[in-house]
Structure 1
Amino acid sequence: MAQHNLSTVVGFEFIRTVRKRGFWIAVLAVPVVIAIIFALSFTSNSSISDSADAQAEADISFAYTDASGTIPDELATAYGGEVATAPAAAIEAVKAGELDAYFAYPVDPSAEPIEVTGADRGLFDNGTYEAVAESLLTTAAQAQIGDPGLAAAAAGELSVESTIFRDGEVTGGFSEAIAPLGLLVVFFLVIVMLSNQMLNSTLEEKENRVTEMILTTVNPTTLVMGKILAVFAVGAVQILVLLAPVVIGYIFFRDRMNIPDLDLSQLPLDAGTMAVAVALLIGGFVLFTGVLVAIGAIMPTAKDAGVIFGPLIFAMFIPFYAISLIISDPDALIVQVFTFFPLTAPVTAMLRNGFGTLDPLTAGIVLTELFVFGVLVLRVAVQLFRYGSIAYTDKLNPRAVLGRRRPATAKN
């Protein structure tokens, strides 16, 4: 009977949620906004890159003086410039609109700025002068060096390949962190997308004042677990919808959008690291779910629950504000506090696990803490839901409820 009731609750909650028009509007709005932002960013980046290249190669007429003696006359001529015999006259020509620009190169360009005087071409196009002046000097310096290798080194155009060993084995570097940190992203999406639904699912019947009738046929534990499983299934639908445009874009528009070809078979995966990441995700979800059910049982309305819900979400993800410290100094006091405090432990531990700074002992302590506290809070939440579900107008007193003895019988 209990198993039948559980499947009934799961099916009812899932179908009720996915049938709502507002659910699909909210779900589909996210990938649409992401696609628009991505398209605008891609277009803007392409425009900025093209604009920078065009500015450096712009055809302008300019005069110049070179106190450093770096720029050969023939190179300047190729750029459209000529030597200025009288700097003051060149500046006057620019002011009169007879000349586009005048460049005054100092004796030591590394210590003194290049002085550029130009005719106004518009707020954004005025950058053309600086781009041409810098490009001319850089090209002249590379030509004087002569050796292509030294020229590339002087321009910072070098590539480096590193091979790092750990315990005698080659490590994958940052690529090793991609998979475990990907699970952190999944955890973030699950919490952000499911938390509000989880809270509302435990409050909806209370606000509709039908919980008392439901509990005459369904055990509170079965009802709560059914709601949790249903919300998790709804979250799976949301994640699939979010991933759909990414997959479609990669498969059908990879060439047009210049997306690199990803070979996931070459992605390094460490079994221990991935096992810890999965366990942390599950443990964090169990703990967070228990806290949400408890809030829903205590508070009479969603409005009242929102007062606690906001700070709770902030507490879960506050470690992101200290991410640089978590990566660079995992032994810092604040990082240790975040690692072992239950609400901040999932995110902090998953970050440290992804970057390889979570040792096995710490991982074991955090996992034990998450699952123990998660199960304990979930059991307390069910007990609170048993009595708080019929507290339609007043906030439930947890101390008074937990001090009661559980009824001897309960219907399944």
Structure 2
Amino acid sequence: MVGRQFLIRLVGLGAASLIQALWLILLARQTGVDAVGVYTIVTAWFLFASSVLGLGMGAYALRLGPQSLSSDRAVTTMALLRFGTVIVIALGCVTASNLLEVSPHEVALIAIMYGALESITELSQGVLSGRRRVVLAVSLLLVQRALPLTGLLLYMLTDASTWVFLGLALAIVVSSASLLTVATRPIPVAQVLRPARGFWATTVVSNVSQLDTPLVGLTAGVSTASLFGTANRLTNPLNLVTSALLNVLVPELVATTKHESRMVLFRRVRNIALILGAILVALAYPLGMLAVTLLGPEFEAIIPFVIGFVVAAALSGVSRTYQAGLFALDHARQVAAGILAGALTGLGLIVALGTLGNPAAVALAPPIAQVVVLLWLAVAWRSALRDAHTDEN
């Protein structure tokens, strides 16, 4: 079953990743280098704030299991919390953009709406994946990606930006509806917060790296930040593909009680991640060249940044198998610690390398940070596995 679910999610996320990459490419060509820099920075701040106020609900939703009245009540509470936090963050971003006179303001608004869509989608995908409704989850994700892209294409054809906002608004409605279909009487917030605390920490530290683009701007300049942020967003779909490992593997490992069966399942998926990672590393430089072709000659300096993020995505795919195993064994705090160590390493390297006067050096930060995460989680997994095996006996 896990093989079929993983294949479905992998193909679906691959298609969704291509749609997301096309969205960013067309947006960059339509608005220019400086404008897309505004988009990446505003989106980074929105997603980091969402991780802080999201309370780990997206990751916790993976453990809710099959649909039932109790899980529906929990989902209802989580959905209401997510809608509230998205509104608060959006209003805060709009206010900050106005006070700071961010320009172009239209692009900042697009980034805010896209951040809201990503935040709601993260929870809906977690709920559906936790219930093993992989086909529905993938179908909804494709719709949520296609609607904004359709709006952007109509904007390019008609020069009316209203189409972009309409596409984003419809995608938000679809994503929200997937949560509201199971709405019932919510449970008290405390009953959701208690079990989600460990996942909240993991989610927050996972998104500390969202601060990297603003930090690059402070240390290496706005132009380098634009290249860094664009490469990050352009290659981010590769991380969406590897997240299929996490969304499918956690429920399966939770349902597997025997040590031997758990190890067979884990090794099978980890081997897939290793193969995918090797393919990504081999394609890193060609993908950098392709990025320049798609974005235009003004983005020629983006090549080393694309290579750095592609290699980081390859390493992250392997890390996610260990992350899934630790989640399944209730060792979410170890996951949080490993990801935090990697994030702080990455931010520290950005500060150090950003002051060297060589913008390309900053591209080393993402892959080195992912090496730290992988080593930490691999050691934590071996320790957690020994404890689980001992308890089983």
TM range (shorter): 0.3 to 0.5
In the superposition, the TM-score normalised over structure 2's length comes to 0.34
Structure in which a larger fraction of residues adopt helix: 2
Structure in which a larger fraction of residues adopt strand: 1
Q: Report the structure number with the largest CA radius of gyration.
A: 1
In the superposition, the TM-score normalised over structure 1's length comes to 0.33
Q: RCO higher in 1 or 2 (8 Å CA, sep ≥ 6)?
A: 2
